[in-house]
Amino acid sequence: MRVHANDGISADALEQLKEEGFVVTTEKVPQDKLAEYINKEKVDALLVRSATKVRKDLIDACPELKLIGRGGVGMDNIDVEHARKKGLRVVNTPGSSSISVAELVMAHLFSLSRDLYKSNRRMPTEGRTAFNEMKKEYGKGTELRGKTLGILGYGRIGRWVARYALGAGMKVIYTDNTATVDYIELELNGETHRVGIKQVPIEELLAKSDFVTIHVSVRPNDPVALGPKEFAMMRPGMVLINAARGNSIDEHALVQALKSGRIKAAGLDVFMDEPTPDAELLGLPNVSLSPHVGAATAEAQARVGRELAEQLVAWRDEVAVNRG
């Protein structure tokens, strides 16, 4: 079978697929040339990350395509329902990047609580001329230990964030439309421990949290999870992290909240208009920024590749069985 990984795939996964007899290519084909390439090369399975879009027009233009695989959690860059109506198998790797995203959330939390994102911007140019001034300005940070972290969306990533936050001594509460668990398991020095964790209504979470991190899946036409109504409920001076989806938050409302001080600061890895985020938002002094790299670690890429490869092998074997 012919596989094309348009956004790349890990070396281990590539080797695994080749050993299983798949013909795999990994060169990046421009979006406007992708349909032509798929048809010309008789591609059976198209693998993507977040850069390549698999919309209705591409799906309709490639009648011989049989499977679309998304390396990652969300599939908002794929018209999933349309693909499945056309008979295509659509798969993703929901658990592969949870740890990496959770660690980036913690990185933003530490950076924001100690103003590292500000001092890192100024030290290269002002470190020799304004050292004492910056020492005074950035020497008023806060500790995470003892603070309350509210997790909006308690799926795989939300639970890993909870583990890291509890390890840092934070209090954790969460809101979720489906989850009902009242504990979480932590592995400490090879031993597993259960720690109680409380689910609360979103109004309570926003009012009580010192920090809030959002981990909900919002489809393109769904309402935002945090808009003006929710910002009005937030505890004044809280810190907000978004490493989920850019459309999870009303960015205009976020800008106003950051300007007014309703929100002290925000850590953002995702944006509404990627790859050209709003210039006003990027220019605010109280925002810690990263370019949608939550899942981009060597370990996560290896897990993504292995999971995709395993799903491809299982799919091929299933097809073979069904053919008799």
The CA–CA distances, whole Å, from 207 to 50, 145, 148, 201, 204 equal 34, 19, 11, 10, 5
The CA–CA distances, whole Å, from 308 to 47, 67, 70, 74, 299 equal 8, 11, 8, 14, 14
Does residue 187 sit in the same domain as residue 64?
A: no
pLDDT of residue 323: 79
Tallying the residues shown for the chain, one arrives at 324
> Which of the residues 292, 303, 307, 316 is marked catalytic?
292
Does residue 126 sit in the same domain as residue 189?
A: yes
For residues 25 and 296, which has the higher predicted lDDT (pLDDT)?
Answer: 25
Q: Could you count the other beta carbons within 10 Å of the beta carbon of residue 125?
A: 9
Mean residue pLDDT of the chain comes to 95
Does residue 146 sit in the same domain as residue 31?
A: no
pLDDT of residue 268: 98
> Which of the residues 19, 274, 280, 299 is marked catalytic?
274
Does residue 47 sit in the same domain as residue 190?
A: no
Active site residue 193: no
Does residue 64 sit in the same domain as residue 111?
A: no
Confidence of residue 192 (pLDDT cuts 50, 70, 90): very high
List pLDDT tens digits, range 143-157.
999 999 999 999 999
List pLDDT tens digits, range 167-180.
999 999 999 998 88
| pTM, full prediction | 0.88
Rounded distance, CA 295 to CA 216, Å?
A: 16
| Residue 220 pLDDT > 70 | no
Does residue 244 sit in the same domain as residue 112?
A: yes
Does residue 112 sit in the same domain as residue 65?
A: no
Does residue 135 sit in the same domain as residue 284?
A: yes
Does residue 254 sit in the same domain as residue 264?
A: yes
> Which of the residues 4, 49, 245, 303 is marked catalytic?
245
Active site residue 292: yes
Does a cis peptide bond (omega within 30 degrees of 0) precede residue 275? Answer: yes
Does residue 179 sit in the same domain as residue 216?
A: yes
Does residue 113 sit in the same domain as residue 17?
A: no
The CATH code of the domain that includes 17 is: 3.40.50.720
Q: Indicate the burial class of 169 (C-beta count within 10 angstroms; 0-12, 13-18, 19 or more).
A: exposed
* Overall number of domains in the chain: 2
Range of the domain at 177: 98-289
Does residue 236 sit in the same domain as residue 109?
A: yes
Active site residue 274: yes
